[in-house]
Structure 1
Amino acid sequence: PCFLSTDRKGNYLLASYYEGSKVTVHPIGGDGAATAAPSQTVPTARGAHSIQTDPSNKFAFVPHIAGNGPNAIFQFNFEETTGNLTANNPARVSLQEELGPRHFCFHPNRDVLYFSNEQGGSVTGYNFDATAGTLSAFQTISTLPDGFDGANSCAQIQITPSGNYLYAPNRGHNSIACFSVDPGSGRLTSLGQVASEPVPRAINVDPTGNFLFAAGLESGRLASYRINSNTGHLEPLATYEVGRRPMWVLVTELPG
């Protein structure tokens, strides 16, 4: 699998398979271990890049990139007592442009989702119908500066706990795109880009919303930034050697 997440109750491990063209569900036992065999396997399409349930734990989404995939977001109903996924209606959101939705995050206070577009070099905001569990796009905005015409692809996407700022990394331009989020509409406004380590595949905002960390796939270094709570701009702090080709970064809080 290329992506793992748990449902909102922590009872099931959900996995998406880029080459395997599927998603799976694994029950999580009382010891915190997931079962080796999935309780459900759902065929989707090549390029399934992530999966998450919504805050109500009733729905799930699986974006598929373009080129190697169908350039669509699969929409599912999720039954939290059994872990079963069933296709929603409609079963997918097919995109007109070759955007390639890859990863996504939920606005903490609004029924809005944001997807990073791998091939499009952009972020798309979707209104989320919390009753039907379906998406409708309302904005697509570039992650790149005007005039840049080099090769680029987007990877992860993060929003601050306040919902005020959103970030997406550019692999090619080698930067982190920064956006402010309108508190009423959820629309994004570009704040520009901040230089990153080469090929910033993975980023994460810490639980306080004060810091962002970005891993450079080609440099083997992790860069830290302070998030200005008034402007959303990133202030570079330090870099750390973390080994060859870091693929993921996660900041978590431990008990005590």
Structure 2
Amino acid sequence: MTGLSRRTFLGAAAGAGAATVLGSRLASAATTPKGCFAGGTVYIGSYTSGATGHGLDVTTRSGAALNPVRTVPGITDTSWFDRSADGRTLYVTNEGDPDGYVSALNIADPAKPKLINKVSSKGGAPTHLSVHSSGKYVLAANYSSGSVVVLPILGGGKLGAATDLVTHHADSGQAHAHQVVNDPTGRWVLAVDLGADSVYVYGFTAGKLSLHQQLKLPSGAGPRHLAFHPNGRFAYILQELRAEITVASWDAAAGKLKALSVVPAVPPGTTGDRFPGEILVARDAKLLHATVRGPNTIASFSVSPDGGTVKLVSTVPTGGNWPRHVALDPSESWFYVSNQRSGTVTWLPRDPATGLPGAVAGQLAVGSVNSVYFAS
């Protein structure tokens, strides 16, 4: 399945009635909670190939509301963001298929990103990237080719040619790498592969990956993304095709994941489409949250004090169709959800007492939106 056909299947092309222009926002009905991070630059990624997005848009915040500023020209199919350790360079995936790229942009002035260079991801549909905690490399996951690439960071934030490329292989069907991150120690790199139903653990030295473990999940689970508990001892693996979270222990000394339990991401009796999208853990680690496409909700889970047990406690409508991504603002006072099919970014207040999302307070129209990233 190509990146474009995947996006068609999972809703990147705007559905009927979707917004097609980055434009007018609805007035926010919410007041800004005390201590809320207000202002700053926010980047929004969207699909451009066979879709209605602009690629990369710059917005600012007024209270919780997002206000459009400009589109950065020539940055196509932007589907993930991360930035350099010094905060002066933004790295984005350009999810072309069969030829994907990763772009580096100077954000010394966050409101005016300037392209530094663009390099091949050595595969198709790069859907995720992360800057390694060493600050020396960008890691990217190529969805359609099922591969992970390592790109060195050169002077001034420029990207160099790949130092390594590893390709996954599924027992049946095709591998689809969907995420690649390092563990909290920086010693290990973990790649989540939806098609191979696996999380791969790699040793990482001098820009080279060496396979250390392949944690195989049940056939058809479709792992998409994972998030670590702040204590570094547990990882929560979001499964796209079974609407579940696998709780796994993480032994950083040994570089080993161990699956412990599986928790549904939807209430009992839920029918129809159920495709989880994104997962995040709040800084206080009392809750983790995931988007679920189909019911179009943010699912919230309580987390035990040690991190080893999670339980679904709440589901809240995102106010849009097909929530691909969710982010918390830097103060963790607001949730921002990228609703792909409806072409909207919605924002929901986070209750300061419970940590749970409230009702939608406003929205911004962004065609074929896929993600939101806070620069400042």
Residue 168 of structure 1, CA deviation: 0.6
- Per the alignment, residue 177 of structure 2 pairs with 48
Where do 1:31-46 residues align within 5 Å? 31-35=156-160, 37-45=161-169, 46=175
Work out whether 1:122 is the aligned partner of 2:244: yes
8 Å CA contact retained: 2:168, 2:196 = no
Residue 98 of structure 1, CA deviation: 2.5
Residue 50 of structure 1, CA deviation: 0.5
Residue 110 of structure 1, CA deviation: 3.9
- Per the alignment, residue 142 of structure 1 pairs with 264
- Per the alignment, residue 76 of structure 1 pairs with 202
> Structure 2: 5+ residue runs without aligned partners?
1-125, 170-174
- Per the alignment, residue 235 of structure 1 pairs with 358
8 Å CA contact retained: 1:16, 1:24 = yes
Superimposed CA distance per residue, residues 93-152 of structure 1 (whole angstroms, 9 cap, x where no aligned partner): 111353111011111124111111000101111100110111001121111112112121
Rounded to whole Å, the distance in 1 between the matches of 2:307 and 2:145 is 37
Work out whether 1:158 is the aligned partner of 2:280: yes
Q: TM-score, normalised by structure 1?
A: 0.91
Where do 1:1-256 residues align within 5 Å? 1-35=126-160, 37-45=161-169, 46-65=175-194, 69-79=195-205, 82-88=206-212, 91-196=213-318, 197-253=320-376
Which secondary structure does the structure 2 equivalent of 1:250 belong to? strand
CA-based RMSD of the aligned residues comes to 1.4
Distance 1:185 1:23, change over 3 A: closer
**AA paired with 1:241?**
L
> Structure 1: 5+ residue runs without aligned partners?
none
Residue 237 of structure 1, CA deviation: 4.4
**AA paired with 2:151?**
H
Which secondary structure does the structure 2 equivalent of 1:228 belong to? coil
Rounded to whole Å, the distance in 2 between the matches of 1:204 and 1:185 is 21
Rounded to whole Å, the distance in 1 between the matches of 2:352 and 2:220 is 34
8 Å CA contact retained: 2:234, 2:307 = no
Distance 1:174 1:167, change over 3 A: same
8 Å CA contact retained: 2:348, 2:362 = no
Instruction: Among all aligned residue pairs of Structure 1 and Structure 2, give the percentage whose two residues are the same amino acid.
Output: 28
Rounded to whole Å, the distance in 2 between the matches of 1:118 and 1:212 is 21
Residue 239 of structure 1, CA deviation: 2.7
Rounded to whole Å, the distance in 2 between the matches of 1:207 and 1:76 is 30
Superimposed CA distance per residue, residues 184-233 of structure 1 (whole angstroms, 9 cap, x where no aligned partner): 24311211200011100011122322221111001111111222233222
**AA paired with 1:146?**
P
- Aligned pairs, how many? 245
After the TM superposition, which segments of 4 or more aligned residues of structure 1 sit over 4 Å from their partners? none
Larger Rg: 2
Which secondary structure does the structure 1 equivalent of 2:157 belong to? coil
**AA paired with 2:227?**
C
Rounded to whole Å, the distance in 2 between the matches of 1:41 and 1:8 is 19
8 Å CA contact retained: 1:23, 1:41 = yes
8 Å CA contact retained: 1:14, 1:26 = yes
